[in-house]
Chains A and B, each alone.
Chain A
Amino acid sequence: MTLSNSAPAPAAGPASGPATEVVLEAVGLTKHFPVRRKLRDLFTREHAAVHAVDDVNLVLRRGHVTALVGESGSGKSTVARLLAQLYPRTGGDILLHGDAVTVKGGRRFRAYARRVQMIFQDPFASLNPVHTVRYHLTRALKIHGNAGRTADDLERALADLLGRVSLTPPERYLEKFPHELSGGQRQRVAIARALGANPEALLADEPVSMLDVSIRLGVLNLLRDLKERLNLAILYITHDIASARYFADETMVMYAGRMVEGGESETVTQNPAHPYTRLLIESAPDPDRISGLTADTGDRGNGEPPSLINPPAGCRFNPRCPNVMPRCTVDLPPRIEIGDRPGHWAACWLYDPATVAAQQPGSAAAATEEAAR
Chain B
Amino acid sequence: MTGQPVLEIRNLDVDYGLGDQAVHAVREVNLTLHRGEVLGLAGESGSGKSTLAYGLTRLLPPPGVISGGEVIYHPPGGEPYDVLGLSDRELRAFRWAETAIVFQGAMNSLNPVHKISTQLTDVIKAHQPNLSAAARTARAREMLRLVGISPDRMESYPHQLSGGMRQRVMIGMALALEPQVVIMDEPTTALDVVMQRQILGQLIELRERLGFSVIFITHDLSLLVEFSDRIAIMYGGRIVEEAPAETLYRDPMHPYSQGLLGSFPALRGPRRELAGIPGSPPDLRAMPTGCSFHPRCPKAFEPCPARLPILGQPDAPTGGGRTVACWLHPARVPVG
Contacts and interface: CB of A to CB of B under 8 A. Distances in A.
Given A1-B276, A2-B274, A214 B152 contact: no
Given A72-B168, A211-B45, A245-B267, A285 B163 contact: no
Identify the interface centre among B44, B160, B162, B272: most chain A CB within 10 Å of its CB. B162
A280 B45 contact: no
Nearest to B225: A287
Contacts of B221: 213
A196 to B, nearest CB: 21
Interface string A116-140: 0000011011000000000000000
Interface string B221-243: 11101110000000000000000
Interface residues of B, number: 70
Contact of A285 (B148, B149, B223, B271): B223
B1 to A, nearest CB: 10
A215 B276 CA distance: 8
Contacts of A182: 45-46, 50
A53 to B, nearest CB: 12
B263 A214 contact: yes
Identify the interface centre among B104, B108, B223, B280: most chain A CB within 10 Å of its CB. B280
Identify the interface centre among A5, A179, A213, A293: most chain B CB within 10 Å of its CB. A213
A303 B190 CA distance: 19
Interface string A90-119: 000000000000000000000000000000
B162 A183 contact: no
Instruction: Give the interface residue-count category, chain A.
Output: 35 or more
A214 B277 contact: yes
Interface string A1-34: 1110101000000000000000000000000010
A209 interface: yes
Given A69-B192, A297-B197, A297-B201, A290 B260 contact: no
A281 B191 CA distance: 14
Interface string B148-188: 11101101000011111101100000000000000000100
Interface stretch (A149-157, A235-243, A342-350, A364-372): A235-243
Given A213-B263, A306-B150, A290 B246 contact: yes
Contacts of B283: 172
Given A210-B189, A242-B267, 18 more contacts: A1-B278, A122-B105, A124-B107, A166-B280, A172-B283, A185-B46, A214-B44, A239-B192, A246-B265, A269-B267, A279-B194, A283-B196, A286-B222, A291-B226, A293-B227, A297-B205, A306-B150, A309-B150
21 contacts: A5-B271, A70-B192, A71-B192, A72-B162, A72-B168, A121-B163, A122-B163, A168-B280, A179-B61, A183-B105, A212-B43, A213-B219, A239-B191, A269-B267, A283-B194, A283-B196, A285-B196, A285-B223, A286-B222, A293-B197, A304-B150
